A = this chain, B = another copy of it.
Amino acid sequence: MPDKKIALKKLEAFLMEHLPLARAAGICVDEYTGNKLVVSAPLDKNINDKGTAFGGSLYNLCVITAWGMTDLKAKELGLKGDIVVAKGEINYLRPLKGRLVASVTSPIEEELVHIEKSYKSRGKAIFNLDVTVLDEQLKPCVKFHGKYAVLAS
């Protein structure tokens, strides 16, 4: 099994083991290319009274997706320690009537170099990540920004 596929399966297993709300939401880790991570969840477990995706569920998916990218990149860079979310911002742009699919791209190479330096010099590195959820017509339903800290243990 290629390394990226193993990393994806480990991430999914971790989420299922440690986060009851991820289990309840039916979170699946769908794809990891090294540059992009895709995480999804079924509508029925995340629906609201209007038959669309619930705002709390959309945030839950996004915060997990960005956490996942932080965890994957931290492991690739050899940064050990706890990862904590410091801040989240979400804009709801249009209702979503189908499966919730969130995607996040990796910080660019220059940012990863800065992250690694910061971890080594200060024992702390910050990941700033943007997650998008598109609808079936590929229009954005949600834009999320999250700030995560990796704290050297």
Residue numbers of A with Cβ under 8 A of B are 14, 18-22, 24-25, 44-50, 54-57, 59-60, 63-64, 67, 82, 84-92, 95
Contact = CB atoms under 8 A, between A and B. Distances in A.
Given A19-B54, A24-B21, A49 B14 contact: yes
Contacts of A64: 56
Contacts of A59: 56, 59-60, 63, 88
B85 A92 contact: yes
A18 B49 contact: yes
A58 to B, nearest CB: 9
A114 to B, nearest CB: 23
B45 A21 contact: yes
Nearest to A148: B55
Contacts of A24: 20-21, 24-25, 45
A25 B23 CA distance: 11
A89 B92 contact: no
A65 to B, nearest CB: 10
A110 to B, nearest CB: 27
A39 to B, nearest CB: 12
Contacts of A84: 55, 92, 95
Given A48-B18, A56-B63, A88 B89 contact: yes
